[in-house]
Amino acid sequence: MEKIDAGFFTRHPVDCARDLIGCTFHWYGCVGRIVETEAYAAEGDPACHTFFRPGARRFVASHEAGDAYVYLNYGVHWLFNILARGGGMDGFVLFRALEPVGGLEGMRKRRPGVKDRELCSGPGKLTKALGIDGSHHATTFLDDPECSIFRGPVKHRVEGPRIGISAAIDLPWRFGDPNSTSLSRKF
């Protein structure tokens, strides 16, 4: 399998989000197949953090493509994003759902009593299952030998409007594998 490096994220965030479906995400002993993502534009997207948070705009200006943008959503759930820069539009790719394939013991320990298919079936669920929190913000995680993304076969991929937001919901920037039982919400 081909390992993805930061160069993958020097493209348009929509292309990155679409092309991550089917890839495998390795995070400190946990492995999940990426089955759902969303793209966000750094400029002009009212659903993106950069629209109303100066710190997010500073992050885009001062970090490199492929760096992790991790934030606490409504003071409850950490959300994991990757910065995409240099493809005609800067922005982020949000990991919405993973299908667990390795390191399930650790995931189950962090999310006890949850069915395996639901361990990472939402952006806050997957960060909890993998142990991702604010300490991972602004990291160049792709350079870490225990973290990586590998290209995988794309069997099926669909797109649709983003969910869980109240602005710019009409943009078809949510991507996923419609056959996965680990989606946050069906397409």
**What is the reported pTM?**
0.95
In a domain, 22, yes or no: yes
Is residue 137, in this structure, part of any structural domain at all? yes
Q: Over the stretch 93-140, which tens digit does the pLDDT of each residue have?
A: 999 999 999 999 999 999 999 999 999 999 999 999 999 999 999 999
User: Hunting for tokens 């710019």 — which residue is that?
Assistant: 168
CATH number at residue 10: 3.10.300.10
Q: Which residue has the tokens 């493509």?
A: 65
Q: Which residue, among 76, 75, 4, 69, has the nearest Cα to 34 in the 3D structure?
A: 4
Give the domain extent around 85: 3-176
| Kind and range of the H or E run holding 30 | strand 30-41
Strand partners, 7: none
Number of domains into which the chain is organized: 1
Within-domain flag for 29: yes
> Which CA distances in Å does 39 have to 135, 159, 163, 176?
23, 11, 11, 12
Kindly state whether residue 156 falls inside one of the protein's structural domains.
yes
**pLDDT-derived band of residue 79, with 50, 70 and 90 as boundaries?**
very high
User: Could you tell me if residue 187 is inside a domain?
Assistant: no
In a domain, 181, yes or no: no
Q: For strands 147-150 and 3-4, give the pairing.
A: antiparallel
Residue 183 in domain: no
Cβ atoms of 94 and 49 within 8 Å: the answer is no
- Tell me whether residue 32 is in a domain: yes
Mean pLDDT in residue range 23-50: 90
pLDDT-derived band at 48, boundaries 50, 70, 90: low
Burial class for 12, CB neighbours closer than 10 Å (0-12, 13-18, 19+): middle
